[in-house]
Each structure stands twice: as structure tokens, then as C-alpha cells.
């Protein structure tokens, strides 16, 4: 991390006991920490406690932070450790090993085969109809508050591994490398899980919009 970067200046301020810097960090990340904690403990009250414990961990550990990863990734690593401890007590935490691959994932088709032209057709294997881009209809509904809620509800139905990856990538805005580092995934696993998650969410939204328009 470059010593002249804004993030490094923030770290220096935190080490100096700057209360305003710490308050700004909480304002920026607290809601995200809770959303991420819920991926593992599945209870908002416990997730809130885990987030609070994470901030205590930040205060205690900021002097030892060496900047080898981003501050955000470091925050998540503290959160993950806190969630594991709470999960062991509550017995509700999702095992981190489950994030790598859910049973049967390797055999699960990413998209419904019915959406492709059947074998024997002149265009076998091609889409029956054009596939919209992830950020175009029906996902364009995310621009509205109701649409955002529908997407989050669809994400909540996903398997834990897919839910974690799509939440970090598409809700929290993390890049692939950050997600791999935080969840202990390979780049290949991360890409596959994200692709499957987006396809499932797209299908769920299309079904909902289709039923609403019928």
C-alpha cells in the first residue's frame, strides 16, 4: 500500500486515535459488515453483535495492520473470525468449507437447458431467445427500491456459497481478487459461483415479472 494513498492516511489517523476517522470508517462499512455477517450467522441481532466485536478488533489490531491487503479485506477477515467464534457458540454458522462448493454444484446446469435450441436443430445449443445482459432488464429493476428488494430476496434463496459471492461482488462491489482472498476461493471457483448465482437470480426475476404480467 502506497504511503501517500488515502487509505494509508486513514490508517495513520486511526493509529493516532483520530475519533473522526474511526467514525467515518464505521459510517462507510458498518452496514456492509452486518450484511456480510448475516451470510454466516443468519440472525441479524447476532450479526449486529459480530459487527460491533469487529470494530473492537479493529481498534485493538490497527497498530499491527501491515497493509498487505486492502483495509476492507482486513476488516472482513476480522469479521470472519468473529463470526466463526459466535457460530461455534450458536451452532448456526455456515462452515467456510461450504463456500468452496456445495454438494452437486459440479453437476448443476447453470441455465435451464430449455432455454437452448435442442439437439438436432439447425442452431442446436444456441439461445432460444436473446439473453439480456446482467445489468439490463429484468435486473434494471434494481434502480427502484422495490426492484432492489426483489433482487435481495432472490439472492437470499441461493445456496450459501453462491449467496456469499454474489453479495460481495454485486451488492458490496468487491472485485474478484478481494472475494477470493476473503472467502478462500480460487479464481475459477469464484467465477463459476458468481455465474451460477447471477443466472439463478435472473431466472427468479424473470419468473416473477412473467407471473406479474400474466
Q: Per residue in 63-113, pLDDT tens?
A: 998 877 888 888 888 887 888 777 677 665 455 545 555 444 544 555 555
Distance, CA of 212 to CA of 207 (rounded, Å): 9
> Could you give the dihedral angle defined by the CA atoms of residues 139, 141, 142 and 146, in that order, rounded to the nearest 10 degrees?
-140
What domains can you pick out in the chain, each with its CATH number?
A: 6-90 (1.10.1740.10), 96-213 (1.10.10.10)
- Asked which of 60-64, 92-96, 175-179 is least confident by mean pLDDT, the reply is 92-96
8 Å CB contact between 35 and 167: yes
Q: For residue 168, give the DSSP letter.
A: I
pTM of the model: 0.65
Residue 206 has pLDDT above 50, yes or no: yes
Q: Percentages helix, strand, coil for the chain, rounded to the nearest 5? A: 70, 0, 30
Amino acid at each position: 500500500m502506497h504511503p501517500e494513498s488515502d487509505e494509508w492516511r486513514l490508517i495513520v489517523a486511526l493509529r493516532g486515535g483520530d475519533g473522526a476517522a474511526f467514525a467515518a470508517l464505521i459510517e462507510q462499512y458498518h452496514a456492509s459488515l452486518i450484511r456480510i455477517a448475516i451470510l454466516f450467522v443468519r440472525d441479524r441481532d447476532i450479526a449486529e453483535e459480530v459487527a460491533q466485536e469487529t470494530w473492537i478488533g479493529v481498534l485493538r489490531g490497527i497498530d499491527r495492520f501491515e497493509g498487505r491487503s486492502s483495509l476492507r479485506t482486513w476488516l472482513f477477515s476480522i469479521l470472519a473470525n468473529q463470526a466463526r467464534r459466535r457460530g461455534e457458540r450458536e451452532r448456526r454458522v455456515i462452515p467456510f468449507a461450504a463456500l468452496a462448493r456445495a454438494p452437486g454444484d459440479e453437476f448443476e446446469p447453470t441455465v435451464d437447458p430449455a432455454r437452448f435450441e435442442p439437439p438436432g436443430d439447425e442452431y442446436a445449443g444456441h439461445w432460444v431467445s436473446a439473453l439480456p445482459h446482467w445489468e439490463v432488464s429484468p435486473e434494471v429493476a434494481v434502480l427502484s427500491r422495490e426492484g432492489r428488494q426483489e433482487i435481495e430476496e432472490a439472492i437470499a434463496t441461493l445456496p450459501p456459497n453462491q449467496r456469499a459471492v454474489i453479495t460481495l461482488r454485486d451488492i458490496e462491489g468487491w472485485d474478484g481478487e478481494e472475494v477470493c482472498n476473503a472467502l478462500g476461493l480460487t479464481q475459477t471457483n469464484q467465477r463459476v459461483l458468481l455465474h451460477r448465482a447471477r443466472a439463478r437470480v435472473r431466472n427468479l426475476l424473470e419468473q416473477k415479472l412473467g407471473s406479474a404480467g400474466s
